[in-house]
Structure 1
Amino acid sequence: MTRILIPSGALGLGYDQTALDRGVAARPDLIAIDGGSTDSGPSYLGRGLSKYTRAGTKAEWAGLIRARQAAGCPLVIGTAGTCGTDSTVDWLVDITREILAEEGLTATIATLKCEQDPAHIARADLTALPGAPDVDAAAIADCTHIVALAGAEQIMAALDTGADIIIAGRTTDTAIIAALPLQRGDHAGAVWHGAKVGECGALCATNPQSGVLLLDTDATGFTVTPLADEACATPHTVSAHMLYENSDPFILHEPGGYLDVTDATYTAIDDRSVRVTGAEWHMADAYTVKLEGARVAGYQTVALVTIRDPHYVANAAAWCDDILQKHAAKVTTRMGPQDYDCQLRIIGQTATLGSLDHNPAPASEVGVLAIVTAADQATAHDIAKLLNPYLLHHPLTRDEEQPTFAFPFSPPEIDKGAAYAFVLHHVMTLKDPMDAFRLEVLA
């Protein structure tokens, strides 16, 4: 049996210290935590930065380093610094060394770096996944950062170094949990299924914000136990997690194969824990890793106006459409032909789903968010300025008195800087699982 302690869904979300102490007392074989994902968009990968503050990360990471010391087991983080670039791995290494010095502790650190050379990837033979964007070699070469998602094999290699703390670049969410039990020979289907259920900590429990989770894997299945007060796992909460960020509720693809939970059985063994058996792991013919890349898609200026007049709130979509038409004509007249994009998103009606929202709720007021994207910041700013009079005074019809709306900021135009776009949703075949990765043990 292998026992994995998962403090939370990601470093930066916080964790229940009392529950974490319970987990340490349960003598885990490994403490594993995710460091990020693509959930917050392409900017973090594009810039190679974490979405969380250094101070906040340090406080949480210090608690986990102390927990590792008390438990006497390795501590592993995947997708360090939100995006898993080399720069964010180095960032967390620096924080780790600072914590160890301040705490008077010693620990061996291993790093697994996953960043790829865009010029090399532009020449590589890639396979597009369903829904992948149309890209050419030039767009790939323009990426500011590209990472390959490590799987369990690369984390196993890091564990083999004997390091106390493993700081990995971009990994699949499950890899850091699955590696040790697979290495120990636990049931592969159970390991991957348990890793999927446990990837977000207590999100698979009745108190999803509580964070801390204990996962036990063995020769036939796995058991999941949330450790915070008033947090329980049920067959429903555990089975439902296969739907989380997964297009197929029964199949999960990972480097080297796929998980099938079609025949899984979920059984409550007490009022807190659930036992799961029946999942199967299928090896693939080739070992592939997914790639993620981001590049600058332009520069943005944003502006926000708020509208409360019931007549304009009710007709906000028509108002926006008319503004966009008149604004486009003015841009051409004043600035000549321009390659840009201008969006007006109605906050309070359809800002989240856009045209997919077929039944927007009525609102007493709405905000209209203007987003102008152009090839450079100065052009985006000038185009947004041409939009300003419309957002402030544009009437729905010529017969109406000129209205006045509200700008929350002065000036209303806010330069947002570079906007990034995801470029890659592709896989790359490797002859050896370590071919795209670099493992180093630090003194």
Structure 2
Amino acid sequence: MNKSIKVLVPTGCIGSGVRLDLFAQALLEKPDVIAMDGGSTDSGPYYLGTGKTKGSAAVLKDELQVYMKARAELGVPLIIGSSGTCGSDSGVDLLRSICLEIAAELGQSVKIAAIYGEQQAATLTQALADGRVLPLNPPRPVDQALIERCSHIVASMGVEPFIHALEQGADIIVAGRATDTAVLACLPIMRGAPAGPAWHAGKIMECGAQCTTTPTDAMVMAEIDETGFTISAIGPQARLTPQSVMAHMLYENSNPNMLVEPGGVLNVEAATYTAVSKQQVRVEGSVWETSERYTVKLEGAAPAGYQSVLLSVVRGPEYIARFDEWLAMLDAVMRKRIENNLGIGPSDYHLQFRAIGKNSALGGWERHVGTPVEIGVMAIATCAEASRTQDILALLNPYMLHFPLPDDEDLPTHAFPLSPASMDRGLVYEFVLNHVMVVDNPLAPFRFDFTTIGA
């Protein structure tokens, strides 16, 4: 390693906007790479199920143009992982096409690497037969039928595919599903930085400025050297502390001292966090432990059925005070009606009620205790056939409007906030894989396409 390496992370996820003033200040630090995440499973299985992106193409183009101008001026790589929200091949194609369009408009000469990570069912079926598909916790069964039911399956890449693309001279990399950390750790590792500090810096910065105490007023950059890394919060009001930096090891991670990645484990049990200033923290002691076998995580989404929702609002002191009793009775009555009137058995549909305004997000874990004025009741019905789902909501409609408590002499009128009160969501998806695949070659599950535009 000839010199320290600076990794700039301008945003936690491309498409969420960039602070131009902070970015201009960050570029004065002369970063060696501009890198960021492009996706997440946070928004649920729909995006992987359909292969679609959540972001607007117009917003992505506006943001990419800023990064591509800066990349060209500095002569450094631009790296984006988990393209198109879910890392599907179509998501990679989308960002690649936008980059080509911008390069043509700006007259730039660039080499763009597209790294695809969607997996074919036949490939995974063979891996399963070879004993190379292993469950994660909580374990769930997998067989050929489940694999074939998935509409899209992606493998989450580590640093090796990115390094391969960089070694081929890529100026811009748009990759499929990747671990957030690998996107940021790849260039330092390629240039000889110790793996422990490189992976650790990547983990801390994976969500951009969320590791600071001023996430809306900061941009982050890490400078990695032989003994550790220094992370900086960039911006006049930007601040971070050893605690805010250390705390990000807990983000989406079950063990605050260990982070499992493709090919190894990051161990930060002996790491130290020291405040250099109000805007810098020094981290040392991170260790990378290489695993005996190399695995990539698999994410798969499959159709779960056709779904419709129905919303009503319950008011009135007595109904609010006895809401749980009322909802339990409504649920029991409706399940009998669905079977007796529609002939749909319990195993052929899924029905749930969510009480909006009464523990709908946390359920029994809710600690805030209070008496709401009104409660929104959302019924969510899912069936294999759209017509059957609509039948259930049609049957449910009058009950959601008028269902009484057992000792209420007057028929109540609850409220429908919309007309029609029900909405068809169409085909919905579910995550069905929680597994890893063992591979001999870290590049084997991925495909590469290089395109050069300009002179």
Q: Bin the TM-score by the shorter chain.
A: over 0.9
Number of the residue aligned with 2:361: 352
Residues 11-45 of structure 1 show CA distances to partners (whole Å, capped at 9, x for unaligned) of 12212111111121211110001001111111100
Which of 311, 316, 320 is residue 318 of structure 2 equivalent to?
Answer: 311
- TM-score normalized by structure 2? 0.95
Number of the residue aligned with 1:340: 349
Number of the residue aligned with 1:425: 434
User: Structure 1: which amino acid aligns with 2:450?
Assistant: V
User: Structure 1: which amino acid aligns with 2:408?
Assistant: D
Cα-Cα RMSD: 1.4
Which of 26, 30, 33 is residue 27 of structure 1 equivalent to?
Answer: 30
User: Structure 2: which amino acid aligns with 1:401?
Assistant: D
Q: Is the CA contact (8 Å cut-off) linking 1:190 and 1:221 kept in structure 2?
A: yes
Q: Matches of residues 3-152 of structure 1 in structure 2 within 5 Å?
A: 3-124=6-127, 125-152=132-159
User: Structure 2: which amino acid aligns with 1:427?
Assistant: V
Residues 207 and 311 of structure 1: CA distance in aligned 2, closer, same or farther (over 3 Å) = same
Residues 358-399 of structure 1 show CA distances to partners (whole Å, capped at 9, x for unaligned) of 665321111111100110211111111111111100001143
Q: Matches of residues 173-212 of structure 1 in structure 2 within 5 Å?
A: 173-210=180-217, 212=219
Residues 251-274 of structure 1 show CA distances to partners (whole Å, capped at 9, x for unaligned) of 000000001100110011112100
Residues 311 and 103 of structure 1: CA distance in aligned 2, closer, same or farther (over 3 Å) = farther
User: Structure 2: which amino acid aligns with 1:225?
Assistant: S
Which of 149, 157, 169 is residue 176 of structure 2 equivalent to?
Answer: 169
Which stretches of structure 1, 4 residues or more, deviate above 4 A after TM superposition? none
Number of the residue aligned with 1:408: 417
- Alignment of 1:213 onto 2:213: no
Q: Is the CA contact (8 Å cut-off) linking 1:317 and 1:346 kept in structure 2?
A: no
Moved more, 316-325 or 157-166: 316-325
Q: Matches of residues 209-358 of structure 1 in structure 2 within 5 Å?
A: 209-210=216-217, 212-338=219-345, 339-357=348-366
Identity of aligned residues (%): 45
Residues 73-122 of structure 1 show CA distances to partners (whole Å, capped at 9, x for unaligned) of 11000000100010110011111122222333232110111100123213
Q: Is the CA contact (8 Å cut-off) linking 1:7 and 1:211 kept in structure 2?
A: no
Q: Is the CA contact (8 Å cut-off) linking 1:350 and 1:357 kept in structure 2?
A: yes
Residues 298-331 of structure 1 show CA distances to partners (whole Å, capped at 9, x for unaligned) of 1100011112212212222222211111111111
Residues 206-239 of structure 1 show CA distances to partners (whole Å, capped at 9, x for unaligned) of 1123452111101000011111231112101100
User: Structure 1: which amino acid aligns with 2:164?
Assistant: A
User: Structure 2: which amino acid aligns with 1:107?
Assistant: V
- Structure 2: how far apart are the matches of 1:213 and 1:150? 23
* 1:135 CA displacement: 3.3
Which of 392, 399, 407 is residue 401 of structure 2 equivalent to?
Answer: 392
- Structure 2: how far apart are the matches of 1:101 and 1:366? 54
User: Structure 2: which amino acid aligns with 1:426?
Assistant: H
- TM-score normalized by structure 1? 0.97
Residues 163-185 of structure 1 show CA distances to partners (whole Å, capped at 9, x for unaligned) of 11100000000001111111111
Q: Is the CA contact (8 Å cut-off) linking 1:290 and 1:426 kept in structure 2?
A: yes
Number of the residue aligned with 2:384: 375
Q: Is the CA contact (8 Å cut-off) linking 2:205 and 2:220 kept in structure 1?
A: yes
- Structure 1: how far apart are the matches of 2:185 and 2:290? 15
Q: How many residues align?
A: 443
- Structure 2: how far apart are the matches of 1:119 and 1:311? 58
Q: Is the CA contact (8 Å cut-off) linking 1:316 and 1:346 kept in structure 2?
A: no
User: Structure 2: which amino acid aligns with 1:130?
Assistant: N
Moved more, 377-386 or 207-216: 207-216
Q: Is the CA contact (8 Å cut-off) linking 1:8 and 1:211 kept in structure 2?
A: no
User: Structure 1: which amino acid aligns with 2:288?
Assistant: W
User: Structure 2: which amino acid aligns with 1:441?
Assistant: F
- Structure 2: how far apart are the matches of 1:146 and 1:249? 29
- Structure 2: how far apart are the matches of 1:210 and 1:425? 36
User: Structure 2: which amino acid aligns with 1:378?
Assistant: S
